[in-house]
Structure 1
């Protein structure tokens, strides 16, 4: 017998009564039943397929209505809670504002992404959106407020947002913190290098 045949016989002897798994009992298949995508996944998918003008195609069917007396708050991963707290307190200067009071939802859908992108392009960091707040959960101002809470999370430029204090519009206004543009980051690096000498 040759070396290859000995190895083959030894291998069969070691394997003995081992049998292949049946397809339906394969461990990789057990417990992996794909569930339907969640509403948020559907909205993200719809936004991604629609491209840059994605907010124009969003439907308010997927929006969970926020109770009118609940404050809005959101922060992306990596944003400290102190930043959101300072934002809520109006601790950053208002560099621009968008007034959406009594405007149709379709118009707000068009205005919001353009405003956010323009502010980002101008290196603005904190903006105020005035949207109003109704007393009933399904009132038009509260529907708009709920839509804004969802739409802002879909815009890459938005790092965080929080409902304003009474002096800035209360629950009828939202502070938005935008991320730094590449140009602003480059300017910061340059300033830091000059300080170091």
Structure 2
């Protein structure tokens, strides 16, 4: 009786071993099938895209490009112009002997007709620009006057007004700047004539200046 039970147990154990072996075989077969399918898919992909070449790495230019340096300031040229301006308007020059003897203290270059100066006194010329020198020191006024005359010539202006004031605020109430302006104007070649302004245009505190004509005008 015991022998029959042992035999039955052995048969059951063998059956279990066989089933386990069968399961391992099925699992191995499935894994092999999946690997084959993966290889087939990879081959299909390679055949579809053709020959593949590696991408060349782009060389990045790391050179530092600095902005162009600003143009140098022509300091020496500016200094030379200012020096030339100061030299061209001397405080040692006086035009007292060149002035007309009338009350307007008029001035005219040689060759300028009396009719031109007369029209200037009567206000026949239209004043196109003016320079107000109130509050300027002597050197500042001299430089400003020279620059104003240069710009007026470049613009082709013919008649301008210089406001120098009556000198009532000066030391001893003397119109120092008034006399300086007349002396400076007489030294400028572009000035043809000047005279004291009419009362409506500033009277004794201003001058009306006639400039030479230019190609632009």
TM-score w.r.t. structure 2 length?
0.53
Query: Given that residues 130 and 172 in structure 1 are in contact (C-alpha distance below 8 angstroms), is that contact kept between their aligned partners in structure 2?
Result: yes
Q: 2:205 aligns with which of 149, 157, 172?
A: 172
Query: CA shift at 1:72, angstroms?
Result: 2.7
Equivalence for 2:166: 133
**Is 1:151 the counterpart of 2:196 in the alignment?**
no
Partners of 1:63 and 1:85 in 2: how far apart? 23
- Give matches, 1:1-197, under 5 Å: 51-55=84-88, 58-59=90-91, 62-63=93-94, 70-134=103-167, 139=172, 142-184=175-217
Query: Given that residues 55 and 109 in structure 1 are in contact (C-alpha distance below 8 angstroms), is that contact kept between their aligned partners in structure 2?
Result: no
Query: CA shift at 1:137, angstroms?
Result: 9.9
Query: Given that residues 72 and 162 in structure 1 are in contact (C-alpha distance below 8 angstroms), is that contact kept between their aligned partners in structure 2?
Result: yes
Partners of 1:138 and 1:64 in 2: how far apart? 23
Query: Given that residues 132 and 141 in structure 1 are in contact (C-alpha distance below 8 angstroms), is that contact kept between their aligned partners in structure 2?
Result: no
Unmatched 5+ residue regions in structure 2?
Answer: 1-82
Query: CA shift at 1:139, angstroms?
Result: 4.9
Partners of 1:177 and 1:99 in 2: how far apart? 17
Unmatched 5+ residue regions in structure 1?
Answer: 1-49, 185-197
Query: CA shift at 1:85, angstroms?
Result: 1.4
Larger relative contact order, structure 1 or 2 (CA cutoff 8 Å, min sep 6) = 1
Query: CA shift at 1:54, angstroms?
Result: 2.2
For residue 182 of structure 1, give the secondary structure of its aligned residue in structure 2: coil
- Say what the alpha-carbon RMSD is for the aligned residues: 2.9
1:62 to 1:92, Cα distance in 2 relative to 1, 3 A = closer
Moved over 2 A (4+): 50-56, 61-66, 134-141
Query: CA shift at 1:51, angstroms?
Result: 3.6
Number of residue pairs the alignment of both structures matches: 131
Query: Given that residues 105 and 144 in structure 1 are in contact (C-alpha distance below 8 angstroms), is that contact kept between their aligned partners in structure 2?
Result: yes
Query: Given that residues 86 and 142 in structure 2 are in contact (C-alpha distance below 8 angstroms), is that contact kept between their aligned partners in structure 1?
Result: no
Query: Given that residues 132 and 173 in structure 1 are in contact (C-alpha distance below 8 angstroms), is that contact kept between their aligned partners in structure 2?
Result: yes
TM-score w.r.t. structure 1 length?
0.58
